[in-house]
Structure 1
């Protein structure tokens, strides 16, 4: 037999036993290393279970913690034992206890026999291929790492930071060019023997013992010194997510694994009964003999990563909720925000609903309650009108409303007296259409006939709030479709703004407006603003509003009559 297998096991020893028997039944000698962290009773039971197969052996045990030298030491000890005890082995395949052969072992043996001098090991320099995700590239070869990244994360990061500030750097041996790659390799006897029997091995081992995650760089670097032909790829299908964590394969990945045409896959869920049954006990269902091609399923993994990191537009999954600006669209559909319209027009909401067919709400972020359309107290998605629940997460309230009413245009009123926590969210949302009549918040104050000193304070407060909102709407970071009119500008010719708003909301082209909402009587409003100015409060957001009554106040604005120019 020309193929020997080294297995590194630390969990799910029952599955590891099943896979080891599969390798051995195909005639492959197997040397198994069991993590020293495994309890002695479990280890003894594992050894006893495989004692009936003479060409399955167990190597000296090391404590294997992720990212440390123990994993390399374990593979060294097991490989040395395999080469010493089985002289007919020509290729050594490194696998884990969670690896699963996907094709008949005989096909792998024939594949390697046709390539007797080829070493299959992923090996690339950090400068050429920056694979690391959230970790260290070249610095893993030049810094020291006395603290465990998993157990003492704070000390690990702090010590790295101190070394960076001090400019500390270890010297890389002159004859080495650091390479990185997958830890799952298949090396020829000649290359592996040269690595393990090199007179300089003590020096190399001493250096790599202080490298971070040496199992991804030790063999990958040293193979470049001795191999005559390297195929920089692994014969083991191993996929990682955007955080650098390995994907786990389950029973519903059966057809996906078949399409990969790979010889071995990891990491297999220990309880994936269907996968183990299909690939270990069903030789008739074996895959066709062909070149391994994991690229055939890369598109699926890429889509899975995109779905996990970005999700669907407007849908916020708990797994990515804390990551701001990762969303694939702030909301799930288009909606409209109106500021100042209900203050200026009577019955604006029913008129807009009739003109557009959209669902028109009142002030969803009003101080007392969320004013849902038709006075509803509960909306789609079990959203209630309670202000306290809404204000616990104002952004989620909006995104949930838009998500749960997909297919129906939502419009709502807004103003400076409302909860302002969503201003930037709406401003940065490409789905938002914002229409603002600045200064219209003063109309309810004008109509209230309250104490003028109190009105002056309220007006100053509301103007400051609206000014900040307008800054957000006009910001270069704003992506919403924003239209802003001063109140004085709007009431001079209200038909054109209203027509443009209706045209943008409705999908189908609409006729010119034949009916418009009645504007509130503004007689005396100009004098009200002048009184505010006289008291030291300058209401500038309304525009240049005349003191004298406007000629069209109190009357429904009419469309202009067409005329012919000759």
Structure 2
């Protein structure tokens, strides 16, 4: 027994002729339906080009607009002609003009001959279908859709809203349970003839003619009424993107299509010469025999959809600047932010660079300029140290810096004197490691020779800024890894937090730190804080410093360092 092919054609008629000849050469009779929108002259030329093939027939033409009844009507009429003209046909395979056989047609014939009672049609109830796009699943069977979704979208949407408002629900013909699936099926003669000669066909056609996208539900529903054995899958490889639009296969998809082991694939780009040359060949050049397994390439399509919808972490493209809630992360790699360390330690940046091998910047968000590592004025990606350019979009500045230096850990200093517009962005970034010594901003004030009234005023402002930053860091929205110490707590045992930070940034240390940065001289710092209190400014963030507190000489070596995991 042979396999008959119903081919729905609407464009690229030259490629459709080429594929039709390939089917015919393998002994498959064809019934071709050309969309009524094809110009008469083009259709006559196409019809004449295949006139030398005796087993090729053309059916009555219908206008086949997407989502409308015309596609089902064309499939019905073509299938009826196939069953009438070719009584030896056992299976009818529905294909389009953009479908391309990937394996020798004889393999498909043998495959179906070994399964004479099996219908291959994707058929699932609306509750089990996860791929519906546009918010209409069960409603496509209970509402009416007389307007074209593509050409008369406004009327389509308004009429759907009106039906919902008045609570309209259509009655589903008795005995039918709506099913959905791919329109590209392969049905047995018995099942197809039973559908087409059903005494209730007129009622079924009236009902489905007002269903949305009936070509994905008409045969899928009725096949459940008559089929002896259904395999709910299509033998045609067709993939759709997140918007429900079909993937188009190009020349560079050649190896991907070979790996699928499928019999037929759609949708093929008409100019994909390499694909047509590779697959419309003799059996020796075609793919090996194997069970069709499109799941082998599903992972690639899933990755493509994820890349298209989410992008790459830390990469913003001109064509897609993501909404914050839809973004795929602020940055592309982990980085570290230090607040107060450069105030408390001399030469902290060069020491951290030596110990960790990371690139350690100064205050990137300082008011006057971006203090890049080693005093550079321009870094990777042509990022310059201009404060005006940086402050135009601080978030994009940080994102670009991390993206342009991928493979190298970035560290920078931050404090209440810096631009605070970046606070929330860093705090909600899972790639950020934030280490804060509260109140360390007071050390430069302690070391300055400024007028004490000015010092008091600046101290009050800096404490207010840091207090607001602290609220952000303790927010429930924070995703960064945050460590916070008061200054008094930190200087009691600085080796422990330093060791923890270094272990996370750099390679694992076999022993404790052999080199530590030099802490600034804090003798008299307690009295300085008391003086601020005496002036009416309460410096509470740095912890409790007694008035007579002097920095212990052995602070950095009194306790044995240990690792905090």
TM-score where L is the length of structure 2: 0.87
Distance 1:424 1:44, change over 3 A: farther
Describe how 1:373-388 pairs up with structure 2 within 5 A: 373-388=373-388
Per-residue deviation, 1:19:
0.8
Deviations 1:22-63 (A, max 9, x none): 122223222222333334443343333333334333333333
State the match for 2:13 in structure 1: 13
Distance 1:5 1:348, change over 3 A: same
Distance 1:527 1:22, change over 3 A: same
Using the TM superposition, name which of 270-279 and 327-336 deviates more. Answer: 327-336
| CA contact 2:371–2:385 (8 Å) conserved in 1 | yes
State the match for 1:550 in structure 2: 549
Q: Does 1:517 align with 2:524?
A: no
State the match for 1:262 in structure 2: 262
Describe how 1:108-119 pairs up with structure 2 within 5 A: 108-119=108-119
**1: CA distance between counterparts of 2:545 and 2:205?**
83
Q: Does 1:174 align with 2:145?
A: no
Distance 1:161 1:497, change over 3 A: farther
Using the TM superposition, name which of 440-449 and 338-347 deviates more. Answer: 440-449
Per-residue deviation, 1:500:
3.0
Distance 1:227 1:354, change over 3 A: closer
Deviations 1:212-241 (A, max 9, x none): 221111110011112222221111112233
| CA contact 2:402–2:410 (8 Å) conserved in 1 | yes
| CA contact 2:62–2:73 (8 Å) conserved in 1 | yes
| CA contact 2:456–2:535 (8 Å) conserved in 1 | no
Give secondary structure in 1 for the equivalent of 2:92: strand
Give secondary structure in 1 for the equivalent of 2:18: helix
Describe how 1:148-187 pairs up with structure 2 within 5 A: 148-151=148-151, 156=156, 160-161=160-161, 163-164=163-164, 166-187=166-187
Distance 1:183 1:391, change over 3 A: farther
State the match for 2:236 in structure 1: 236
Q: Does 1:397 align with 2:377?
A: no
Per-residue deviation, 1:180:
0.7
Give secondary structure in 1 for the equivalent of 2:483: strand
Give secondary structure in 2 for the equivalent of 1:542: coil
Using the TM superposition, name which of 184-193 and 501-510 deviates more. Answer: 501-510
Per-residue deviation, 1:345:
3.3
Q: Can you give the 5+ residue segments of structure 2 that lack an aligned partner in the other structure?
A: none
Using the TM superposition, name which of 148-157 and 465-474 deviates more. Answer: 148-157
Using the TM superposition, name which of 171-180 and 8-17 deviates more. Answer: 8-17
Deviations 1:143-191 (A, max 9, x none): 3335544456566556545544554332222221000111100112222
State the match for 2:301 in structure 1: 301
State the match for 1:48 in structure 2: 48
Distance 1:31 1:324, change over 3 A: farther
Distance 1:347 1:70, change over 3 A: same
| CA contact 1:62–1:73 (8 Å) conserved in 2 | yes
**2: CA distance between counterparts of 1:205 and 1:155?**
23
**2: CA distance between counterparts of 1:413 and 1:405?**
17
Distance 1:561 1:7, change over 3 A: closer
| CA contact 2:493–2:556 (8 Å) conserved in 1 | no
| CA contact 1:331–1:399 (8 Å) conserved in 2 | yes
| CA contact 1:102–1:258 (8 Å) conserved in 2 | yes
Using the TM superposition, name which of 97-106 and 461-470 deviates more. Answer: 461-470
Number of aligned residue pairs: give it.
560
State the match for 2:505 in structure 1: 505
| CA contact 2:337–2:432 (8 Å) conserved in 1 | yes
Describe how 1:122-141 pairs up with structure 2 within 5 A: 122-133=122-133, 135-141=135-141
Q: Can you give the 5+ residue segments of structure 1 that lack an aligned partner in the other structure?
A: none
Per-residue deviation, 1:100:
0.4
Using the TM superposition, name which of 51-60 and 307-316 deviates more. Answer: 307-316
**1: CA distance between counterparts of 2:185 and 2:320?**
34
TM-score where L is the length of structure 1: 0.87
**2: CA distance between counterparts of 1:50 and 1:393?**
63
Describe how 1:399-548 pairs up with structure 2 within 5 A: 399-444=399-444, 462-509=462-509, 510-519=511-520, 523=524, 527=528, 531=532, 534-535=535-536, 538-546=538-546, 548=547
Deviations 1:346-392 (A, max 9, x none): 33222322333321101222233321101112212322223344344
| CA contact 1:309–1:320 (8 Å) conserved in 2 | no
| CA contact 2:525–2:549 (8 Å) conserved in 1 | no
| CA contact 1:347–1:518 (8 Å) conserved in 2 | no
State the match for 1:78 in structure 2: 78
Using the TM superposition, name which of 89-98 and 248-257 deviates more. Answer: 248-257
Which of 538, 541, 557 pairs up with 1:559? 557
Per-residue deviation, 1:119:
1.6
| CA contact 2:522–2:551 (8 Å) conserved in 1 | no
**1: CA distance between counterparts of 2:523 and 2:46?**
89
| CA contact 2:435–2:483 (8 Å) conserved in 1 | yes
**2: CA distance between counterparts of 1:45 and 1:101?**
24
**1: CA distance between counterparts of 2:13 and 2:388?**
53
**2: CA distance between counterparts of 1:310 and 1:427?**
21
Give secondary structure in 2 for the equivalent of 1:248: coil
| CA contact 2:30–2:57 (8 Å) conserved in 1 | yes
Deviations 1:490-532 (A, max 9, x none): 3444344333323332213153354423426574675567647
